[in-house]
Amino acid sequence: MKRLIALFSLLLIHSLALAQGRGLPDFTELVEKQGAAVVNISTTQTIRGHGQAMPFPFDENDPAYDFFKRFMPRLPGEGAPREFQNKSLGSGFIISADGYILTNAHVVDSADEVTVRLTDKREFKARTIGADKRTDIALVKIEASGLPAVKMADPAQLKVGEWVVAIGSPFGFENSVTAGIVSAKGRALPQENYVPFIQTDVAINPGNSGGPLFNMRGEVVGINSQIYSRSGGFMGLSFAIPIDVAMEIQGQLRSTGKVSRGRIGVVIQEVSKELAESLGLSQPMGAVVNAVEPGGPAEKAGLEAGDVILRFDGKTVGSSSELPRMVASVRPGTRATVQVWRKGATQDIALTVGEMAEEKQAGGRTPRGSKTPEQAANRLGLVVSELSAEQKRELKLNAGLLIEEVRSVGARADLRPGDIVIAVISRGATTELRSVDQFNKLLARFEKGSNVTLLIRRGEMQTFVTIRNLSGD
């Protein structure tokens, strides 16, 4: 009996070992076949200035040299004109045999000279066809033929948990291979509205930027673009631009040298659970319109603040981060249908997509009201006053109350003095505020523990603010 148990144990251990062996990926064939299509990119930027430079405490070959050269201040004073060479390294990959190469826009940004080095040690001076900073994609060209090119994958088929491989030049170490898994898809990053990033735990460091991210079939699924780090080095969070986004951008760069994007002229925000309840939506989805640009495509078509955009051009808007990408991908001048949720029902609105221009810096003044000494805070802990006719004309508002002071609940909701409460939203109905007395009566109707959603004007921007778990009177 003991022999049988021992034999069974040995068989079990052997089976587990075989199973673990089958589960470990082998990247050698992938690297051998695809490594030659990955290139090293070095750039030089000439900076002209006057005065004496502060001495650097590092040798030029030290990785810290570039950091201090870029950020260490110069000593003031007169001096002969001097030229400084700012050099940087990155990666790229060949997408066609005639020398077109994809990389990141930040790799070649402001470069006076771009040099591409192949794995066979050949070097070429490259020409930048175009760069798009919004997606961080650049297309460069070298004069060569018969080059090895990568194959493209469909990022839609990529699965979370799948093995992926990066090849690049971290810190200048050419054709370095790192591997990991897909951590998430469709990541929206701050200030990055046009890329649904692929998140991985592949080790990415300075110099990897612009290099390819491969699936196990040797197909490119993305371009390694950035990392999340508190130290400046790799901490397990890497982000890649999906290759379908990059290929669409490079197509426009190749044909026109620039990227044309659609726009509809709305300011949006995410639909929270509480806001969905206030608007009468069955679940949080879509993008709620905070403000509509005067004279823009959305206003001309009849979109209004408070509308929730559920579908755009036949595609479902699951979250607000998806809408900018959908709109930007539509060619300007195209007629598109927008499905909105308004006053408890869906409505289809046709509009003509405009063309995105350079972003404008929002401005605006904070109005001043006149708080009377006897005025008390309302149920939300807000001291509000009515706008004068002159203030309404200046702000181009028909209604609204100025917040003079914020106490208790209002403070927790990030309401501030100077904000203007335009309306209260409840169960899909929007009620514009025209007097303090009206506001107080509306608040009195809410039961204890319920949520109150307000439409707030702050400077030139409008936003929805939900105050949760309303207290008693």
Active site residues: 106, 136, 209
Q: How far is CA 432 from CA 281, 398, 448, in A?
A: 20, 9, 22
Give dist(CA 254, CA 246) in Å, integer. Answer: 12
Q: Within its chain, how far is the Cα of 146 from the centroid?
A: 37
Q: Which helix (H) or strand (E) holds 325?
A: helix 322-328
DSSP state of 285: -
Length of the chain: 473
Measured from the Cβ of residue 387, the count of other Cβ atoms closer than 10 Å reads 22
Question: Taking every pair of C-alpha atoms in the chain, what is the biggest distance, in angstroms?
Answer: 98
Q: Using an 8 Å Cβ cutoff, are 272 and 336 in contact?
A: no
Q: Using an 8 Å Cβ cutoff, are 397 and 434 in contact?
A: no
Give dist(CA 261, CA 332) in Å, integer. Answer: 7
Q: Using an 8 Å Cβ cutoff, are 358 and 259 in contact?
A: no
DSSP state of 447: P
CA proximity to 454, closest of 288, 281, 340: 288
Helix (H, G, I), strand (E, B) or coil at 327: helix
